[in-house]
Amino acid sequence: MTLLINNEMVSQVLTMEDTISILEQAYADLVAQEATCRPRIDIQIPTSDGKVYQWGTMEGGSTRGYFAVRMKSDVTYETVVDGNRTHQKYCSKPGLFCGLIFLTNTETGEPLAFINDGVLQHMRVGADGGIGVNYMSRKDSEVVCMLGSGGMARSHIDAFMCVRNIKKIQVYSPTKENREKYAHEMQTKWNVEVIACKDEESAYKGADIVAGCTNASVPIVRADLLEPGMHIVNVGGGTGMISPEAQDRVDIYFRFGNAPSPAGLPEMALADEWITYAARSDIDNGLRQKPLGKRAHGVAMPDKVIYYSDLLHKTKESRTSEKQITYSERGNLQGNQFHAVAGKTYELAKAAGLGYEIPTEWLLQDIRD
């Protein structure tokens, strides 16, 4: 039987500790060439009402037995909310989304599961933040500046709690109600001090870790508020990662890795976060997060970069000073993440007796493809 595993089931079985552990293994497998993936690829088609339809896929697999492709079907656009330009999306109607992971067995080719990607998506991105904090932040880091109060802001705190003794969270987001709700929830969940800050300056002050977790279309990390010794994690903000001004403040840039090049074509190696193919490519799509005709960022600070392979093989050190400002990000390895985390989720759900069963024969045929 092939399983259909929904978000509620994922949340019942997948822990942040599991996610961090399985992702570290997946990154090590990629270094050892026991796994492979390709960069995320998006197809963009303009809609009749001025928005953009976007189909996105990312895929990868390993010799551990799993392959997965993650598929997203979105209508996307940008708007200004509380004075901030934000990236919005939906499927069918606002508030609904379509993201699926198709998991297969690399030994037999058998389809194993379809998994809703919502919870798993937040877990794997949060886990990346935790891995970066674990390797690059000061060991005594206790205070988090959280920019944003949505789902990613929640999963990142879950991850930080796994790797550091966090005692205080200073959260800022433009909507007062949202940041206060987040503060109450985090304080209740983690029994730590949480302050809903009225401005960004208050959120940054005295923080050890700065986490930008928003759906902003432009970079949000402020260079002028960075303090010596901080570690930065950033989700969103378009193709610019963090602003050039903030990049200038960074001493060490920890990038987990880059997707390998196609076999026999080393010249096609790309570090781009995503690759876009677009209809009407001669017309501006109105997006700042993904402006038409512009490449997504790759290795933005090549003179400061260290990779997961460097730490694994001890060819370079991580932080060497308490005063250094560090930054971490995954790179274009999304496809390598989904087979690993989806495979673990499938194993856990199956062991727990969870998942709606679909006869596998429905997905097979006797006509050669």
Structural domains for the chain: 2-120+335-363 (3.30.1780.10), 129-258+296-331 (3.40.50.720)
Q: Is residue 215 over pLDDT 90?
A: no
Average pLDDT over residues 213-230: 92
Is the C-alpha dihedral spanning 57, 8, 62, 350 positive or negative? negative
The per-residue pLDDT for range 243-259, each reduced to its tens digit, is 899 999 999 999 999 99
Residue with tokens 């001025």: 50
Q: Would you list the DSSP string of 240-289?
A: GSS-HHHHHH-SEEEE---PPPPTT-GGG----SEEEEETTTTS----SS
Contact 23, 124 (CB under 8 A): yes
Nearest to 200 by CA among 262, 259, 241, 148: 148
The CA distance from 192 to 181, in Å, is: 15
* CA within 13 Å, CB half, 117: 25
Q: The whole model's pTM is what?
A: 0.94
Nearest to 305 by CA among 258, 267, 255, 349: 255
Question: What pLDDT was estimated at residue 44?
Answer: 96
Average pLDDT for the chain:
95
Q: Where are the beta strands (DSSP E) in 22-133?
A: 35-37, 40-46, 52-62, 66-81, 84-90, 98-105, 111-116
**Alpha helix stretches (DSSP H) within the chain:** 7-13, 16-31, 118-136, 151-163, 176-190, 200-204, 244-249, 308-313, 334-351
Question: What pLDDT was estimated at residue 216?
Answer: 84
CA distances from 146 to 19, 197, 293 (A): 21, 10, 32
Average pLDDT over residues 195-222: 94
Contact 103, 115 (CB under 8 A): yes
Percent of the chain with pLDDT over 90: 87
Q: How confident is the model at residue 238 (pLDDT cuts 50, 70, 90)?
A: low
Q: What is the 3-state secondary structure of 131-181?
A: HHHHHHCCCCCCEEEEECCCHHHHHHHHHHHHHCCCCEEEEECCCHHHHHH
Nearest to 213 by CA among 234, 187, 182: 234
Q: Which residues of 288-309 are buried (b: 16+ CB within 10 A; e: fewer)?
A: bbbbbeeebbbebbeebbbbbb
What's the maximum distance between 2 C-alpha atoms anywhere in the chain?
64
Q: How confident is the model at residue 59 (pLDDT cuts 50, 70, 90)?
A: very high
